Chain A
Amino acid sequence: MATIDAGDVGISEVNLKIRELAEKGENEIVLYNPDARHLISVGVIGKSKIKIKGSAGYFCGGLSDGPTVEIQNNAGWGVADNIMSGTVIVGKNAGAIPGVGMRGGKLVVKGNLGSRAGAMMKDGVIIGGGKANFMAGFMMMGGRLIVCGDCEGGVGQNMISGTIYVGGEIQSLGADAKFEEMEEGELEDIYQLLDEFDLPHPESFRKIVPEGKQLHYAKYERKLSPAKISVPEGPMWDKRLVEDIAVKADLGRYRVRSFGSARHIPTFDDIAFKITPEMVLSQKNPRARCRLDTVLGNKFASNPLRLKMPILIAPMSYGALSKPCKVALAKASSIAGIAINNGEGGMLPEERAAAKQMIYQCLSGRYGFSPHDMLRADAIEIYISQGAKPGLGGQLMGSKVTPEIAYLRGLPQGIDIRSPSRHPDVLGADDLIIKIQEFREVTAGRVPISLKIGAGRVNNDIKIALKDTVDFIEIDGMEGGTGASSSVVTDNVGIPSLAAIVQAMSGLDEIGCGGQLQVVQMGGIRDGVDAAKAIALGAHAVAVGTATLVAMGCTGCMTCHTGNCPRGIATQNPELVSKLEVDCAAARVASFLDSMGTEMAAIALACGVPSVHGLCRDHLVALSPQAAEITGLPLAREGDMLA
């Protein structure tokens, strides 16, 4: 037995000690003076038994695989979050979202369960000896939740899979949950589990399962005959709009669309570089003479991303995209010396193997999220929202939810996945700090932790991100692409990248923190010139998504959501997938990325700076009064030569 006195020691030190002892195979570790502090015993891999003599704060025992954690008294929010296996026992009560995102193992709370117990859990068992606060089993995706006492309202709200058993009174069922008769042997199974932890047997249990009405859209878009229009086509009416109305009349709901917004918004095309003619003529071999290398995320992390040029491949999920496409993108990122972001739905092993540097995304649904993959990642990104659909979670239509993708995500096969719009354990900027600290604990502060936000109130959001101690922030303009989203949101919610990057810079300047947070701008970056413009406006790097798909053959037919991508890029149909040849696609994307680098270098040299990071606002002009108003750049005057 080993003992640790947490009394006068920081939690990071305590956790390092626990992990060190667990790795050595120490059987029993006893922790004194926990004083309800947060993040005790997170990220522990191994079979040790950890006894916490007192109460614990947020996320105790979370993101672990294997240990038994006994908390003598109370636990704060999110106890045992995302555990893969092992047992967490709470002697008294647990705060909100106990067992959030659990993927296996057992969580036993002898007293009461806080609200939303088992939210987004994928597997494993949660047992509550007492009452459960509201929305027990909220958006549960698998496993079992057993509540011996009474439940407040909304039991099983929007549950997707899994089973809830309640021994006491149920105030009300949540949306899309229903009662079902217990099968033979089920009650015995529950009693056996209760005996294992010395919990009394309620006389009977009621069983709650998903009703399943919300797991699929009631109706899908049909192929309609081509739209006809007799009024003169103009800004008020055109064929697209007529088709849109016809489809909505058929569906009775919004349209799900993909690729991205096709309407006109101010873009990087509305600004240009001021370049003197002799500079343009004098540049030869720009790559050799201009520095593009970029260190990203070195504010707190000891191992930041080291990029050969300031470009990332934007998060796009395996699910939205085919496996060959994901692997090709990963290979291209390695050839180009940059990093790829895995996107939603867990880390695809083939993609990880092909990518030299990978950013691992943590999204609201926590599909396939695991501490092992966190340790395999080169950076971790907390997704708050996306430019193409701020305020909404990801969508993946059932036609693309193959058995493999369902398995990776921990969801039933074939459902229309609509990811939660917000994180179960981040309800405000204050909770977010604790989540970020948890990720730092798990990765021992090695890798950068970033935040991704859809561009809306960037001016406020960037200040919050700065205070939330992230290593860098990714801002996604409304031009950003998507595999599936409501067209209403894609076309009408958010602000363009051009405005977003300007707001980000002014937000930091307003609080005297200019230059203190690296910004990655994404959304609408289509070539090296766009990238150079974003960097001149203040971005430290950019991310490209759609452009890389176009480089490998995407034609922009806007049918990614249907799963019928004719190029094998955004589909899971084996016949279509086979059309995409990994090495050929990877070579094309790598070559495209290389061209971006050359363009950036040429522009930087032409502007008279030896590094792309030397570009600044002084090198830019606005081409329209609108762009001048948005960016604060001067309008192009006579005599300025434009690139």
Chain B
Amino acid sequence: MCGIAGLMLRNSGAIGKKLVGMLDGLQHRGPDSTGFALYRQPAADRMVMRILLKCSAETHEGKSRASKVLQILRGFGVEVLSDSYTQEHYRLEIAPVPAVKDLSYAVENQAGVEILSFGSALEIIKDVGSSLDISKRYGIEAFTGTHCIGHVRLATESIVDASRAHPFWAYGFSDVAIVHNGQITNYWKMKRRLQKTGYQFRTDNDSELIAVYLADKLDRGFSLEEVLARSVDELDGTFSFLVSTADGFGFAKDHLAAKPMVVLEKDDMVAIASEEVALNRLFPGESLDTYEPFPGAYKTWQLSTLAMSA
């Protein structure tokens, strides 16, 4: 029960600031927590890992967890380029690694922390509070990049905390993230199926399932578009969700279409939100040429083609 928003720009721009505004426009749909998945041009020489320490980095326990993370990374032979923290959030820049999933499981299982995102383009920042609060706390507005997705949450079943805030990183797969508004009713069935193939889940939130489900399909070699097409038939319930990868972006909407979504496509950008009011935050005072996708609809955009079409 929430609001979702996403934005892709042909040319890198102030996506942080724009997304903060869009989510502020949707905050009435979800006062509990807010989150941002922000993408810049993928770097060839570094990856960013964002970690939730689950206690302040200034405490003894926080410091011990952070040093444990560094120790595990060293154990994997990973070069740490830099690290920094804000409250419970620990950010590391490291030299690129191939085994994202193995490294991630090792860090989480051994250090008692949670990885919020990992990739060469993606950073996820999410916490309890409003869009404007979190922006101030973590400096979201300063972020420039190519695309982003975001979420405001009104918790209905699982508890309110940073772990269960959206976006969800598709755990183990670099640069894939989702935000979701709705409810997946075959959650337990799908979760058990994925667990049998070796995936671990960190929350009881059905949106995490979507992230892992999509990532698993991408890993099997399906295109983003094919994955979304399948999701509309294989996931049961009412949902509208957005998915983003290092260079792509898309939405899917269930057959009941009980969850709202409005799309704005322009030559140099695509913007999607639960309500048009968020799109108007990008273009105050303008009448926008938007459309509402039909039930069972899905669509993807690639950064490269968005650039070419201009």
Contacts and interface: CB of A to CB of B under 8 A. Distances in A.
Interface of A: 7, 32-33, 35-38, 53-55, 57-58, 72-74, 76-77, 92-93, 95-96, 114-115, 133-134, 152, 427-430, 433-434, 437, 460, 463-464, 467, 511
B275 A57 contact: yes
Contacts of B181: 430
Nearest to B258: A427
Contacts of A35: 277, 280-281, 284-285
B304 interface: no
Nearest to B238: A427
Interface of B: 1-3, 28-32, 154-157, 160, 181-183, 238, 257-260, 262, 274-277, 279-281, 284-292, 294-295
A115 B297 CA distance: 13
Contacts of A463: 155
A460 B277 CA distance: 29
The 6 closest A-B CB pairs, nearest first, are A36-B276, A73-B287, A35-B280, A429-B1, A430-B29, A427-B258
Contacts of B257: 96, 115, 133-134
Given A35-B285, A55-B276, A152-B295, A74 B156 contact: no
A125 to B, nearest CB: 23
Looking at A72, A460, A467, which has the most chain B CB atoms within 10 Å of its CB? A467
Nearest to B290: A74
Contacts of A55: 276, 280, 287-288, 290
A96 B285 contact: no
B31 A134 contact: no
Nearest to B160: A511
Contacts of A7: 284-285
Contact of B260 (A53, A73, A77, A464): A77
A395 B155 CA distance: 32
Given A35-B280, A96-B257, A427-B258, A152 B294 contact: yes
Contacts of A464: 1, 154, 156
A93 B258 CA distance: 18
Contacts of B291: 93
Given A54-B286, A428-B259, A114 B277 contact: no
B157 A428 contact: no
Contacts of B2: 430
A433 to B, nearest CB: 6
Contacts of B274: 430
A294 B31 CA distance: 30
B29 A76 contact: no
A76 B291 CA distance: 11
Nearest to B285: A33
A467 B154 contact: yes
Given A36-B276, A54-B286, 4 more contacts: A35-B284, A38-B277, A55-B288, A134-B294
Given A7-B284, A36-B280, A95 B262 contact: yes
A73 B28 CA distance: 23
Nearest to A32: B285
Contact of B292 (A32, A114, A433, A467): A114
A211 B288 CA distance: 40
Contacts of B182: 428
B285 A460 contact: no
A104 to B, nearest CB: 26
A434 B28 contact: yes
A58 B275 contact: yes
B292 A57 contact: no
A58 B275 CA distance: 9
B295 A133 contact: yes
Given A54-B287, A434-B28, A467-B31, A428 B258 contact: yes
Contacts of A58: 275
A36 B285 contact: no
B202 to A, nearest CB: 21
B1 A96 contact: no
A74 B259 CA distance: 18
B32 A36 contact: no
Q: Which of B183, B289, B292 has the most CB of A within 10 A?
A: B292
A293 B260 CA distance: 44
B155 to A, nearest CB: 7
A58 B29 CA distance: 12
A36 B295 contact: no
B154 A36 contact: no
A95 B295 contact: no
A36 B28 contact: no
Contacts of A134: 257, 294-295
A462 to B, nearest CB: 12
Contacts of B295: 115, 133-134, 152
A114 B294 CA distance: 9
A554 B262 CA distance: 54
Nearest to A111: B291
Contacts of A54: 280, 285-287
Given A54-B286, A134-B257, A467 B32 contact: yes
Contacts of B258: 427-428
B277 A57 contact: yes
5 contacts: A7-B285, A93-B292, A429-B154, A433-B28, A464-B156
Given A35-B277, A57-B275, A93-B292, A430 B1 contact: yes
A7 B258 CA distance: 30
Interface-central residue, A53, A72, A114, A427, by most chain B CB under 10 Å: A427
Contacts of B154: 429-430, 433, 464, 467
B157 A96 contact: no
Contacts of A37: 277, 280
Given A36-B288, A464-B154, A76 B259 contact: no
Contacts of A32: 285
Contacts of B260: 76-77, 95-96
Contacts of A72: 287
Contacts of B286: 54
B31 A74 contact: no
A391 to B, nearest CB: 15
Contacts of A76: 260, 275-277
A429 B156 contact: yes
Contacts of A460: 156-157
Contacts of B290: 55, 74, 93
B147 to A, nearest CB: 22
Contacts of B262: 95
Contacts of A428: 1, 156, 182-183, 238, 258-259
Chain A CB within 10 A, most for which of B155, B257, B287, B290? B287
B166 to A, nearest CB: 13
A73 B285 contact: no
A534 B55 CA distance: 40
A460 B160 CA distance: 12
B257 to A, nearest CB: 6
A114 B275 CA distance: 13
A618 B156 CA distance: 31
A171 to B, nearest CB: 11
A95 B155 contact: no
A430 B157 CA distance: 14
Given A115-B295, A427-B258, A433-B28, A33 B284 contact: yes
B259 A36 contact: no
Contacts of B288: 36, 55, 73-74
Contact of B276 (A33, A74, A434): A74
A95 B277 CA distance: 13
A95 B291 CA distance: 9
Contacts of A93: 290-292
A92 B287 CA distance: 10
Contacts of A433: 28-29, 154
A326 to B, nearest CB: 35
Contacts of B32: 467
Contacts of B238: 427-428
Given A430-B2, A430-B30, A36 B279 contact: yes
Contact of B3 (A38, A133, A430): A430
